[in-house]
Amino acid sequence: MPLPIDMGYVTDILYRLLTTPSPTGYTTDVVRLCCAELERMGIHYELTRRGAIRADLKGVRASPDRALVAHVDTLGAQVKMLKDNGRMELVPIGHWSSRFAEGARCTVLTDRGPWRGTILPLKASGHTFNKEVDTQPVNWQQVELRVDAPCRNRAELEAHGFNIGDIVAIDPQPEFLENGFIVSRHLDDKAGVAVMLGAAKAVVDAGAALPVDCHLLFTISEEVGSGASSILHQDVAEMVTIDNGTTAPGQNSSEYGVTIAMADSTGPFDMALTHSLLTLCKAQNIPHQRDVFRYYRCDSASAIEAGNDIRTALVCFGIDASHGYERIHANALESLVRLLVLYLQSPPRD
């Protein structure tokens, strides 16, 4: 049955998630934030050895249990080399273009504490390089990190505590507009985490009885491909991943309603589970569309590749400019929370 949705909570927790840096490899702070929310709701959870979260919403039956999964880690960068000019060479964390890194403000997370900086192309000064600024190649070898510290050479970088391997968190620059649009980096997949927490809050606040146990999984390494590989209980029968759908030419995703993925680069999702979600959308008049993603994988893939015998599906909020300056609409988040609340209350498939 439909339950009241607290969209004020969903947007508030999304803002707090976005403003908590969490590139893959540096997720402790955002994990603490999610754990605090689970504790506040009275939801039992445990941490895996690697630091992912496995939380439990108890149902009338313990099995065959189901799971929802979203990832708290984001794209970022890492220091590859301390350069003789006092700047730093970077490599990306996750797969994203240096085109979207150029001009980004960021924080370098050193052993001694954080430093602010800017990612710039090698030829950044229009007054010096003129048209060469526009003709230089676009790749990670053509950008460098200018740190806001008096560093003119490698020795001064070392003296300030910078090291090869330091993680770089990119500023999200979130904007929540009155017309419902939300613009920020890292909406993939912090919007998915906010949706999952919003669905859990709706269930807890209403005291709804679930027919079967459901695990809320918060993974920490999806952007590098291994997210859900080691987080599942062995008796989980089915898992629904919450992630972004790409609103771009040639795609059917939308920034409104729910986008239900039929397949991604790893192949089709489970047809029975996927169609049960489509049926819930139709029965409750939740706006939705289907899509197929050619260059895309998610936590479903890592779970199956790790040998888990589970059915998987993928539900999405439509996102414009994925892995860049992303944009979504609150309508999609609300639609997703509505769908997940219905799914959690639906009869299990043995």
- Residues classed as catalytic: 222
Contact 91, 157 (CB under 8 A): no
For 227-254, the three-class secondary structure string (H helix, E strand, C coil) is CCCCCCCCCEEEEEEEEEEECCCCCCCC
Rg (CA), the chain: 21
Helix ranges (DSSP H) in 117-186: 126-129, 132-135, 154-159
How far from 127 is each of 121, 122, 130, CA to CA, in Å?
14, 14, 6
Going by the DSSP 8-state scheme, the letter that residue 223 receives in this structure is G
Integer CA distances (angstroms), 180 to 7, 11, 95, 244, 305, in order: 11, 10, 28, 17, 37
Determine how β-strand 181-184 pairs with β-strand 326-329: antiparallel
The length of the chain is 350
- CB atoms closer than 10 angstroms to residue 115: 20
DSSP 173-219: --EE-TTSEEEETTHHHHHHHHHHHHHHHHHHHHTPPEEEEEEEEEE
Pairing of strands 59-71, 236-246: parallel
β-bridge mates for residue 68, sequence order: 216, 240
